[in-house]
Chains A and B, each alone.
Chain A
Amino acid sequence: MLHFPLQLRNCRFLSFAFLVGILLSFSGAAHAIPAFARMYGTSCSTCHLDFPKLNDFGKAFKDAGFKFPKNDESMLKIPPVMLGAPANKELWPNAIWPGTIPGIPPIGLRYTNYLQYTGSSSSKFAALTPPGNLPPFIPTTDFETGVFTLLSAGNFGGDVAFWINNDLSVAGNNSGGGLGDAYLKFVNIGRLLKLPQYALNLRVGQFELEIPFTQARSIWTSPYDIYIQSNIGAMNPLFSQQFVNNNYVLAETGKGIELSGGRHTGGYNYSIAFIDQRTGGHTGFSPYVPTALGSNNGGLGVQSDADFKDIYASFNYRFNLERDKESRNAIQAAGSTGPRDHTYLNLGTYYLYGRTEQRLLGAGADGTASVLTAREPFYRVGGNVTFNYRCCLQFNALYMFGHDLNLLPVDAAGALIPLNQLGQITPAGFVRGRSATFSGGFADVEWLAYPWMMVLMRYDGVNSNADRVNALISNPPFTGAPFNAGAGSTRNRFTPGVQFLIHPNIKATFEYQFRPAQSVMVATNPFTGLPVALNPFHTNTAVLGFDFAY
């Protein structure tokens, strides 16, 4: 009796896949680490299901510090360069502790590009443009050159891993690019304290927090809406105002240190990180502070908003549900037709505590000029769940609640200052107002129908009253207009998608972002006389893309 391997079943649909590939052949790109493929002489599919999504072995590879959990040396096809004989360990501290560097520069490259189709509803926003101003033009179809990224990662021997990825070009030019993750990870340092293996790791540098579902290495083309949700307080004087200007979003990288432990293939894993506050709550770094490079004439290298460090913690527990104990504890389960990912249930929770700072020129009680600082603590808390059925079917869900303390400026008499008059009335202090909050999350289904085809469906929901209020246009140039704005308004959407692996390193993607239709109603703000958009329209979009890595 033949149990068809998945690859065989693929053959039946090869021609179909080819046709789809041709149809989608506008695009390109991948997010795997080709450097590893070169070092080990193995395919991307060793670690990835639908890159950059990791399979269980890929998770174990990452947990081990970007190396095979066992007998890594025997798997390397390109031997590393020894930085000292291993016997030097016996001479330490009289000799340099030996290590290795990869035998070839572990560099991979990735490129993405897209074609976006936008619904015709975009024209409705032209009605919001007051006389004398050019209405916005939003093309129905638009080719988008995506991101060109350099990836480098590996292991320096022993338990020291490294990772650097840098977006060299974004949107077809050099603008907007920058460093993604860049860190050293000291794996298994808990052994120094006689802790169990993998109980304690240390990561230093810039990195995406150990959020439940990675945004930087997500298979989705569009970001999780809740991950890019900032908390900009309601500024419209018609509503309860919020002096909150917190640009922090959970998806952004943090600079700092992280203690972590456990495994992502079964049992617990945790992360505790301390990162620079990066709220964007105020600007204006001193040009006179010494830099990290020793210069004394300009703020290079000092980019923190304040001394405060945000704290992030997460904890997950994964229950592998295989009946056979040996298989349950293995990195991958032993299936009848080959190793596969486990059937598992993962439950997790996460919490981030941070603080924003806003500084105002104000006056003390005696009338002397002073700098007033509003320090507004905030937190993001939530939970996540994943149920994975073998190789091919996964349900994910995440919930988040965001809360920011809201300090409202008051004048010398203790009266609230309308925020749109903040430049006209000198603040003397702050009083605590109603907190600025939001909530939301997402739920998705990822079905690996074939090893080369992933079918996706996701629902995103974000509920932020402040966003809703801010979407009301208050003045030109209508930056509050909610058209496709990343954090412009309370929003929800269904996003079905499908992805095809044309090769292990080439992927075609398609997403249709379906936003419930809402009408645009234009009214006049009775206080300001300016147009107001009510129930802003959320436009549907379709995105074709190609991903490739090499």
Chain B
Amino acid sequence: MRNKSALTMVFISIMTAASFAGTLQGKVSTGNSVVYVDTISGKIFPASTKTIVVSQRGLQFVPHIVVVQEGTTVDFRNDDSVQHNVFWPSVGGNRKDAHNMGSWPQGDKRSYKFDHPGVVPLLCNVHSEMSGYIIVTPTPYFAETDAAGNFRIDNVPDGKYTVVAWHEGSKPEKKPVEVTGTAKVDFALAQ
């Protein structure tokens, strides 16, 4: 009997929460872009416990673009038979957050926890053609678009936010959005 009451309470809680969570969707003019909800003042989100792996394979960063929430740890793994390096000259344009991870042999990895939001351009100082990106978002509300540019972010609480769209080589664009249930926002990114 006590268990039944508890289950009922949980169900009610979930339903209540769901009633305040909406969906943010839309389209970005260029595919393979990233869309995320920017910093929400007064809101602190628990750091993600996920570990993301970025591999260096075939003289490329794989995947080329990764989106993680602030506080996420990323493992950089060398899957090539040649030595690599990973460094980034800035985080979100802030050069003080530049870092050089050094080098490590095939099969090994090194980890780094990204505590500051922003775009992290990954480079290898051995193979200057290699590039990748880590987009560190301040909120857990983010998505990568499909090739056509469509995106959908679920479980966004109702409220007013600033939404950012980013694409490699384009100028990021911010737009205010009010989420009440389902909200729609489109971006036309300029080069």
Contacts and interface: CB of A to CB of B under 8 A. Distances in A.
B88 to A, nearest CB: 9
B72 to A, nearest CB: 21
A5 B125 contact: yes
B130 to A, nearest CB: 8
B5 to A, nearest CB: 56
A8 B102 contact: no
A2 B99 contact: yes
Contacts of A336: 100, 102
A337 B85 contact: yes
A69 B80 CA distance: 11
Given A4-B100, A334-B83, A338-B102, A43 B125 contact: no
A332 B104 CA distance: 11
Nearest to B57: A74
A4 to B, nearest CB: 7
B82 A334 contact: no
A71 B100 contact: no
Interface in B106-158: 123-129
Contact of A43 (B89, B102, B127): B127
A326 B58 CA distance: 23
Interface residues on B, range: 20 to 34
B128 A504 contact: yes
- Report which residue of B84, B87, B98 has the largest number of chain A beta carbons within 10 angstroms of its beta carbon: B87
Contacts of A46: 59, 126-127
B63 interface: no
Q: Helix, strand, loop or mixed for chain B's interface?
A: loop
A42 B102 CA distance: 20
A74 B55 CA distance: 14
- Report which residue of B85, B123, B125 has the largest number of chain A beta carbons within 10 angstroms of its beta carbon: B125
B103 interface: yes
Interface string B47-90: 00000000001110000000000000000000011111101010
Contacts of B84: 339
B104 to A, nearest CB: 7
Given A4-B100, A338-B125, A68 B81 contact: yes
Interface string A42-78: 1101100000000001000000000011110011010
Contacts of B100: 2-5, 336-338
Interface in A229-284: none
B103 A334 contact: yes
B61 to A, nearest CB: 13
A331 B127 contact: no
B93 interface: no
Q: Helix, strand, loop or mixed for chain A's interface?
A: loop
Given A2-B100, A75-B59, A334-B105, A42 B127 contact: yes
B185 to A, nearest CB: 36
A74 B62 CA distance: 14
Interface string A3-14: 111111000000
Nearest to A45: B128
B126 A71 contact: no
B34 to A, nearest CB: 24
B184 to A, nearest CB: 39
Contacts of A326: 105
Contacts of A330: 83, 105
A337 B102 contact: yes
A41 interface: yes
Contacts of A68: 81-82
A37 to B, nearest CB: 9
A308 interface: no
B80 A71 contact: yes
Contacts of A334: 83, 102-105
Given A75-B80, A334-B105, 7 more contacts: A7-B128, A71-B81, A74-B81, A330-B105, A335-B103, A336-B100, A337-B100
The 10 closest A-B pairs by CB, nearest first: A338-B85, A70-B81, A339-B83, A5-B125, A71-B81, A3-B100, A338-B125, A43-B128, A43-B129, A339-B103
Interface of B: 57-59, 80-85, 87, 89, 98-100, 102-105, 123-129
27 contacts: A2-B100, A3-B100, A5-B123, A7-B125, A8-B87, A41-B129, A43-B128, A43-B129, A45-B128, A46-B127, A57-B126, A74-B58, A74-B80, A74-B81, A75-B58, A75-B59, A75-B80, A75-B82, A330-B105, A332-B83, A332-B126, A334-B83, A334-B102, A334-B105, A337-B100, A337-B125, A338-B102
